[in-house]
Structure formats: C-alpha cells, structure tokens
Amino acid sequence: MNITHALIVVYKMLTYNRHSKGASVPCEQLLYYSDRIKILCGKFKVINHLSINKMKVIPYTLFFIFMLASCQQEETLNTGKIVEGKEIKASFTIQYSNFSIPKLRSQTSGEKEINDIEIVVFVSGAYQYTVTGKNLTTSSGNVEFNALLYSTASPVTLFILANGTDILANNPPLEVGDTESEVAVKLKNTFSAAGINGNFPMFASYSLPSGLDALIANNITGINFLRSIARIDVNANAVTSNFRLASVQAFRANNSLQIIPQSRESNSATVPSIPSGSTANINTTVITPTTTEASSLSQLYLPESAAPSEADQVSQATCVVIGGYYNGSSTISYYRMDFDSGISGHPFGQILRNYQYTFNIESVSLVGYPTAEAAATNPSSSGISSSIIVWDSNTTNMVTDGQYYLGISKNPIFLASGIGSTNTSLIDANTTYTMQWASSEGIGTGTPSTSLNNGIFSVEQINGGTSIQVTALTANSLTTDIVQYILLRSNDNNSLSLFITIRQTAFGVIPSSITISASGGEGYALVTSSSPWGSISNQSWFTANASVGDTLKWTATQNTGSTLRTGNLVVNNLNGEQASIPFQQNIPNNTVLNVYSLRSGLAYLGLGSAVNTAESRAQGLKGILTNAANFSLSGKVNCGGFNFTQSTVLPHALNATVLANINILYINLVGGISEISTAGAAASVTWLEEDPKRVMIVAFDLSANTNIMNALGVTNITYYGDVAGTYPMQFNSNTTYFSNTGPFTSYPGSPIKNPFSFRNYDANYAELSIAAYPSITPILKGPHGNCLLGVDYSRRVIYVGDIDIFSSGSGYNATPNNYIQNITGLINSDASRLIGNVWGWATNTALGVTP
C-alpha cells in the first residue's frame, strides 16, 4: 500500500460510515488513520481532537493529500513489522450447530439460515469500523465468507453478527471509541408474542492479540456462532396412551433480547444477558400441533431469562404451559412445567441463549388446570410428571436414550503439530462415563478408563468429568494428520456411546527447499497449517506472501551476478509453529549442453532440435527436451538448451577427441557391428571420470552395449522377452527427487502418485541385479524385481533397461498416465514427469548445479 492508497482509506472512512448517524463525523476516525499515515510517511505530528462536519471532510482529506504529495517512501515487505492501514482480505469459516437433540424434530428454517454478516471491529478495545461479509455460502453447519479489514499491529477483536444488518440499523449508532461492553448493550432486538420476525440473530467473536498482518493468510476458523435465543421442545411420546398434546405456550418471557452476550470468554453462555429495561411480560402465541406432531412439539423459541428469587418463582419465573386431552376427554386441561433441571449452573427459571431445553412428559395422572393462565400463575401441576434435558447447542454430538444423555462440544478434537499441544472438549452428560481407545470402525480396544495414554496422545477426564483434555505426546513431522479414535461409554449399562476422532494436524511447507532459475519469476509453495500463517524472507530479492488459502506465492528478481544466491524463508503460524525453507537461485546459465548419441539401432536423438530427426522410439523424449517450457532459460530446468550431435561411423569409434566437448553421452540401444568398440567403451569411461560435470546415460536391454557395460563393471544382467507386467516405481528417500522434489513434480506441479508403474512397450527389457550393485539406486523395478531404471549418483550414470520408456508409443499395458503420450513435450502424465525429472537431474549435474 502506498500513501495514495492510505489516503483513499481515510477518505472512505470519513465520507461513508454506514452505521453512524447524525450530521458530524467523529475525529477519532481521522486520528486513527492519520496515525497509520504517520507510520508510512513519518511526517505528521499529533492532531488535536476536532469536530469535523461532513461537508468539511473533503477539504481535510485534500489537505492531507497536499501535505503528502512529496512523500515517496513506500512500505517494504517482509520486514517482520506489520504495515498499518493496509487493506486485507480475510476469509472466515464459522460453525453453527444443529439446534436439536437426536430423535427429536429437526431445525426450522429461521434458526439455521444466515442471510447477512456484519463484522464490528475493535482495535485496542475501542470500536473503529463495521464491514459487511461478502460471498456468503452455507453448508453442513458452516458459513463461509470474506471481508475487507485493515492491518494493524494493535490487538484486534472482531464481533461477528449473523442476521444482524437490521439490528445495527434499528439501534443507536456505534460511535468510534465505544468499548466492547458499550457496543454489546446497544444491540438489542424486540421479542413479541409471535416471536422473532425473520432469521435468528447469532454472534461470534474472534481475538487477534498480535493484530492483523497483511502478510499473513488471514483464514479465520475454529469459532462457533451463538444464537441469541433458546429453543424449547416438548416430547409426549411416552404418554400417548392416556394423553394427547394439544398446545404449547410460554408465559412471562422477556420482551427484548441482547444480541451480544456480556460474558464472551467461551463458546457457551453461563449467565443470561438481559437488556436494560427489558420486561418479562410476553405470553407467546399458542402453538397447536398438526396431526403428525401430536406427541412432540418444537419451534418454541425464547429470549434469555434470569432466575427469580425463591419467593418469586411461581409468580415471576418464565414457564411453559402445555394443553392436552387427558384420558380421552374432549376438554383441554393445562399443565405448567418449569425450567428446573436441578443441574449445577442452571437454577430454577433461568434460560440461556443457544441452549435447547427438552421437556420429556413421563406420565399424566390427573386433570390439569382449566385455563393456560391459571396453570401459569400456580405451582407446577401435580398431575404431570416430567423431566428436562438441558443441552448446549454447541455440543456437536449427543446421544440419548430418553433418560440419560452424553454429548461432546468438539468432534473431531484438533491438536496443533507440536509436542505438548493440547485441546479441551466440554462433556454434556447426566451420567458418568469411561473412555477407551477404538479402531477407525468404532470398535473399542484396550481397557475402559478415565485416563488414556498410547504414546501418541494422552486423554484425561478433568473438572469432574465435565471436560476431556487431549495432549500430543509427540510432534507431527509428517505432511498428513495423525489420527486416533476413542469411545466414550456411559456407566449405566453402557447404553450410550460416542465415537470421537482425535486429529493432530501437520505443519509444514512443500517443497522443503526452493530452487529458482536465474531468470527469476514467481512460484508457489503449499503450506499445511491449522492456524493463520505468515512468512518472512531474509533476502530483499526474494519476497513471499500469502496468496489464497494454503498457498504461498514467492517472487524472485533476476540473478545477473556470477554466483549462486541463497537465502532462507521462515513460515510461522499463530500456534507458534515455525518452518524454515532454504532457497537458492542459480547463476545465469546460457550454457548449451552438448548431447551425443549413436546413430544406429533404436532411440537415437538425431541432429539439431527437430523432433523428427530422432529415431521414432526417442521422439517422445526429444519433444520433452526441446520444449522451451521444460528446458530453457525460462523453463523448469534453467539452461541454454541442447545441441544434439551424433556418431555415424560404424562401429562407433569413440575416443578422447570425439568426446572432448560432450556434456551428456547418451548411449542408445545399438548392437552387432554398431556397438561401441572395447577401446571406445574404455575411452567413454575415462571421459566420464575426468570431469564431475559429465553424465552418461546407457541402455542395456536386448544384450546390447555389452562393451560399455563391461567397462562400467556392470555385468549381472538378466534379459527378458515376455509381457510379465509393468515397471513399478520405487518411492523412498533415495528417489524423492524423481517422484516429488524434481523440477517437473515440485509444487505447484504434481508429485507422482504412489503407486505408479511405467508401461512395458514390447516385452523386451532387461534387469540388473540390485544385490550385486548397491551403488545403483533403482527408480523403476522390472516385473521380476530387479533394477530396470536406476542411477549411480556417485559415478553420474543412468542405467536404462528398456529404451522404450523414451517412446511416445502406447505398447502393452498402456494407460493415459504410464507413458509419454506426445512428441510435443507437453508434460501431462506421471510418466512424462518422471522422464522430465531424470533428464532434469542429468542436465543440472552437467551444469554443475545441485539437483
């Protein structure tokens, strides 16, 4: 962001504050952004508090513009300091739980729909601005959206309101400088006998103690919406033999509700937040069941209520009155039921937001009161017996048998990648329980206990079993999550069980190192992190910042020097985890490599860059080598390209003079009188050993090239003429370059998928003994289990047991992924990625660049 951008921010904020009313604009907004301009330009002094009329805003803004017209200083990236006032696109994923206990009725549309999002932003505890969430999508209990915020090094708190646009508009305006508590008490909604008109307002908060950094991927997750109301269900399934439910009604509900709770330390309400001036004078409209609902009713939603004194419980407590036909009578009688669960923290008459209260009618033995009003103003009816289940709707999983219930607030339970990382999940139960390790199928293993430890995770019941705490005993150094499972079982004859997933997330960056061509440019890395992350480079020529989601985008300038450039990129996340990624930029390399092949037999590469000068079985390979996207100054492998020359004298009389300027000696499949002579083979090995930047690629199928194989000391070879299967790739630490980190498979390219097998073209191939030659690393094995394609790193020799891996012909066992499919050099299969990496290793070795 430059100075002009900062001034545009000031202008926008001063001329358009959607949720402020009146004829003046508070000066605090100007001060807030002038401080950020001061940081950018260093030319301001403290401005006294003023009262600025809206008509004077533009002159003030122009005044700032003229003062800064000569300011040339631009912000710099990757300094480790947060740049103030930079516009940031933040992404949000927020959960909103199912508002229903299993086996009871599902949600109504109003309680689960989200039509709009407003984000109220506080900096250092003071209100600054409100923004609207954009690109809103909802699915599977999650809402996703993004919003434009402004970077700051000061602590930030976000109040996120769902279905809150009208509430902001219909309440007193938020003033810059308002505290969090002052904003909370301003935002209220009326409650009438008919309930809430429209979708239910919800609230979530998120704190960023270190501020908002423009260089961090601000992907905000792991928070839950709290609905501002409670849901009440009545279940009469157990008494249908002598009672038919006819109506449900609440008495003495509050006539207003507060959208933002006063206590915001957790995802669960612990005390009610009753707006100042609210009166408990609402008797809700009677709900009459349909035929299909005759034994169970939901859809009664109430604002929070405080517990009255014991003396006032009958006359002042919010209560539920049901009407029904007792014992076949044609007259409705009425029964009072109170919010009296007997559970600690839930006193008589208290109703908390985002809770679900389920009244289970267990028996009806007498006729009730004649009117609903009479029932509401008298003690609970003795003729009815009922129990109440109090369920926090942020409990994501709950099971119940009608009498007992067992629920958990988080499932899966996520842990950060570091050793010692912990997470606690609340348990909602009216029974005791034990824990047990389990298989992925949910089958219990080991002994049930209140404490578990398997060397990977420990799980402890804490706070009297109202929570479980999971701790990682090891660090996750993998690129995938570590997953274990447990079962919670109730102690009342094991009638209830919950299957819980524990997931320790990975933190890392792929690739683990970055190699950059001399021409510079941009590239990408994949960051695996369970929390927002950012990056810092220690070199000015290499910058990196968050792109989209888990993608890190880096940019490097051109290297015009004569030496390699190196540096280090550090990626941190908000969990305190850190990854260090070294990067290296090659020197400008206009070197054109001389590649020499033998013009006889099969798969020679021919003269010049034309693909059709190569023998047909090498045209797939030559297409890859001559495509500028692959091998060039701007290609995946940085070089000046290749000069293809060849031997035409039979037998091939290679000697020191012929080989002097060759970089890569490619001994394709020759035989008979065309084979390299014994002297030529010896000269070739000498040539190879004289310079560490020389590479030999030699084919050994069909009993060909025996002289050169003898000169290399590789003679334990078996030749085959069958179609016994494909050639499986070997995935291990010695072959990572060819499967993952090479130029054609590193991110943003795709690694070769394990398992992968190369096709067998025409049944003729050879395998060399793995046991006899431990210095040769198998890349592909043959169908009989020995080495078909391998590399000797120390001698810089690539051994090819089937020259047809360089062919674009389909042959036997072909699939779209297991052979080179074209002669244009398009990399579109795992086979072409592998061949690209094999020649990428050979090219970089010949250039003296560490592959």
Higher pLDDT, 64 or 652: 652
Give the model's pLDDT for residue 165.
Answer: 94
pLDDT of 503 > 60? The answer is yes
pLDDT of 217 > 90? The answer is no
Q: Once rounded to an integer, what is the mean pLDDT over residues 487-495?
A: 82
**Eight-class DSSP state of 848:** T
CATH 3.90.1170.40 fits 593-847, yes or no: no
pLDDT of 38 > 70? The answer is no
Give the model's pLDDT for residue 78.
Answer: 41
Least trusted range by pLDDT, from 7-16, 328-337, 395-404:
7-16
Query: What is the rounded CA–CA span in Å between residue 43 and residue 73?
Result: 11
Give the model's pLDDT for residue 332.
Answer: 96
Query: What is the rounded CA–CA span in Å between residue 793 and residue 838?
Result: 12
Confidence of residue 440 (pLDDT cuts 50, 70, 90): very high
Give the model's pLDDT for residue 515.
Answer: 83
Confidence of residue 453 (pLDDT cuts 50, 70, 90): very high
Instruction: Supply 387's token pair.
Output: 């129990």
pLDDT of 82 > 80? The answer is no
- Tokens 């494909």 found at: 726
Q: Once rounded to an integer, what is the mean pLDDT over residues 144-161?
A: 94
* In contact, 356 and 391? CB cutoff 8 Å: yes
* In contact, 428 and 398? CB cutoff 8 Å: yes
pLDDT of 37 > 60? The answer is no
Give the model's pLDDT for residue 30.
Answer: 43
Give the model's pLDDT for residue 458.
Answer: 97
Q: Once rounded to an integer, what is the mean pLDDT over residues 554-563?
A: 89
- Helix, strand, coil percentages (3-state) for the chain, rounded to 5, are 15, 35, 45
CATH 2.60.40.10 fits 508-585, yes or no: yes
Query: What is the rounded CA–CA span in Å between residue 84 and residue 87?
Result: 9
Domain segments of the chain as ranges: 3-67, 230-393, 400-504, 508-585, 593-847
Q: What is the CATH number of domain 230-393?
A: 2.60.40
pLDDT of 575 > 70? The answer is no
Give the model's pLDDT for residue 399.
Answer: 79
Query: What is the rounded CA–CA span in Å between residue 511 and residue 513?
Result: 5
Element (H, E) at 34: helix 27-41
* In contact, 836 and 624? CB cutoff 8 Å: yes
Least trusted range by pLDDT, from 48-52, 227-231, 372-376, 718-722:
48-52
DSSP string, 168-225: HHTSPPP-TT-BHHHHHHH-EEE-BTTB-SSSPPEEEEEEETT-B-TTEE-EEEEEE-
Query: What is the rounded CA–CA span in Å between residue 811 and residue 645?
Result: 28
Higher pLDDT, 164 or 7: 164
Burial (0-12, 13-18, 19+ Cβ within 10 Å), 733: exposed
Give the model's pLDDT for residue 394.
Answer: 63
- Start-to-end C-alpha separation, the chain: 38
Q: Once rounded to an integer, what is the mean pLDDT over residues 565-590?
A: 84
| Cα 630–chain centre separation | 31
Element (H, E) at 406: strand 405-408
* In contact, 672 and 648? CB cutoff 8 Å: no
Confidence of residue 81 (pLDDT cuts 50, 70, 90): low
Share of the chain above pLDDT 70, in %: 84
Cβ neighbours around 438 below 10 Å, total: 20
Higher pLDDT, 2 or 350: 350
Closest CA to 453 of 486, 412, 481, 424: 486
Least trusted range by pLDDT, from 10-14, 330-334, 751-755, 778-782:
10-14
Cis peptide bond upstream of 743, omega within 30: no
Give the model's pLDDT for residue 493.
Answer: 67
pLDDT of 97 > 70? The answer is no
The amino acid that residue 148 corresponds to is: L
Give the model's pLDDT for residue 480.
Answer: 82
List the beta bridge partners of residue 424.
469
Query: What is the rounded CA–CA span in Å between residue 375 and residue 324?
Result: 13
Q: Once rounded to an integer, what is the mean pLDDT over residues 823-831?
A: 97
Q: Once rounded to an integer, what is the mean pLDDT over residues 791-804?
A: 98
Instruction: Supply 241's token pair.
Output: 């033999």
Give the model's pLDDT for residue 598.
Answer: 94
Confidence of residue 376 (pLDDT cuts 50, 70, 90): very high
Q: Once rounded to an integer, what is the mean pLDDT over residues 690-715?
A: 95
Confidence of residue 348 (pLDDT cuts 50, 70, 90): very high
Cβ neighbours around 510 below 10 Å, total: 19
Least trusted range by pLDDT, from 12-16, 408-412, 488-492:
12-16
CATH 2.60.40.10 fits 400-504, yes or no: yes
Tell me if 400-504 shares its fold with 593-847.
no
DSSP string, 754-809: SS-EE--SSSEEEEE-TTT-TTSEEEEE-TTSSEEEEEETTTTEEEES-GGGG---
Top mean pLDDT of 36-40, 268-272, 478-482, 574-578 is at 268-272
Higher pLDDT, 475 or 612: 612
Average pLDDT, the chain: 84
* In contact, 757 and 726? CB cutoff 8 Å: yes
